[in-house]
Amino acid sequence: MDLMIHSTTFLLPDIPADSGFSLLYSLVVLNQPLPKFTPLLWNHARFRVCADGGANRLYDEFPQLFPDEDAFAIRKRYKPDVIKGDMDSIRAEVLEFYSNLGTKTIDASHDQDSTDLHKCVAYIRDLPNLDKQNLCILVAGALGGRFDHEAGNINVLCLFSTIRMVLLSDDCLIQLLPSSHRHEIHIQSSVEGPHCGLIPIGIPCKSTTTTGLQWDLTDTEMRFGSLISTSNIVKGKIVTIRSDSDLLWTISIKKA
């Protein structure tokens, strides 16, 4: 079983040259309050997409993060490459503003069977000349608000299980750990932890083994209606996880 290595170096101002992590980041901005560190994600990303009303959040909230700078200059600096979605949430003046700056807009209202996040991830996946092996999609504003929206975003993790993807809020992150790999998570203790959790998704987990947690699992069965690993604590710099079914990994994000 191959090893997959994870690290939240994207939460650091600069990714250390010797970190060993050379992922190609793309950013999706959703229509929920954006984490205060979203500009940091933006700077690490090579490609940025707003999902419909996510463009409103970018337009309204980014200037608030830079109160000493001109709002127009901030909006011009943080211009998305693409806005895609049903176009039922984005305000007309926001759509016009970014279109005039050269942002590509894609109306996907004909597709009512997939969420705006699904549409954006599929668009990024299908971009030509993109190194899919090293791609990692960061999703800002993915958590909070309506639970059905959160569940839909988690479902997108499962639908695109072969793509690295991280759902982010000010409080925590969530990512899928496919059972096809062993996982090694390098903890960035300055920006994340210590609280974490492992949650079976889709089907019950018959056997999970971990190291590096205060309450490690040893061939442990987890399922809804029985045991799931919540309110666990990372104890070391590296957490290892092996499981016979896909799991969600979540860890708290420290306030700046």
Q: What's the CATH code of the domain at 65?
A: 3.40.50.10240
SS3 229: strand
H helices of the chain, in order, are 38-44, 54-65, 71-77, 92-100, 116-125, 147-159
Q: Enumerate long-range contacts of 89-93, CB under 8 Å, 24 or more apart.
A: 89/31, 89/52, 89/53, 89/56, 90/52, 90/53, 90/55, 90/56, 91/56, 91/59
Residues 157 and 238 in one domain: no
Length of the chain: 256
What is the model's pLDDT at position 20? 63
For the chain, how many structural domains are there in total? 2
Residues 144 and 201 in one domain: no
Taking the complete model, does pTM exceed 0.85, yes or no?
yes
- Cis amide prior to 128 (ω within 30 degrees): no
What is the extent of the structural domain holding 58? 17-170
pLDDT in tens, 84-100: 988 889 999 999 999 99
Confirm whether 105 is domain-assigned.
Answer: yes
- Final residue of a structural domain among 119, 153, 170: 170
Could you say which residues of the chain have pLDDT below 50? none
**What does the alpha-carbon distance between residue 98 and residue 91 come to, in Å, rounded to a whole number?**
11
Residues 197 and 132 in one domain: no
SS3 242: strand
Q: What's the CATH code of the domain at 228?
A: 2.60.120.320
What is the model's pLDDT at position 87? 86
Residue-wise burial string across 103-115, b where 16 or more C-beta atoms lie within 10 A, e elsewhere: bebeebeeeeebb
Residues 152 and 44 in one domain: yes
- Final residue of a structural domain among 170, 190, 222: 170
Q: Measure Cα distances from 170 to 31, 106, 192, 203, 251 in Å.
A: 14, 28, 11, 29, 11
Confirm whether 12 is domain-assigned.
Answer: no
Work out the number of other CB atoms within 10 angstroms of the CB of residue 227.
13
The CA angle 20-133-14, to the nearest 5 degrees, is 35
Residues 126 and 57 in one domain: yes
**What is the DSSP code (8-state) at residue 234?**
B
What is the model's pLDDT at position 18? 62
Q: Is 17 exposed, middle or buried (CB count within 10 Å of its CB: 0-12, 13-18, 19+)?
A: exposed
Q: For CA atoms 96, 97, 102, 106, give the dihedral sign.
A: negative
What is the model's pLDDT at position 132? 77
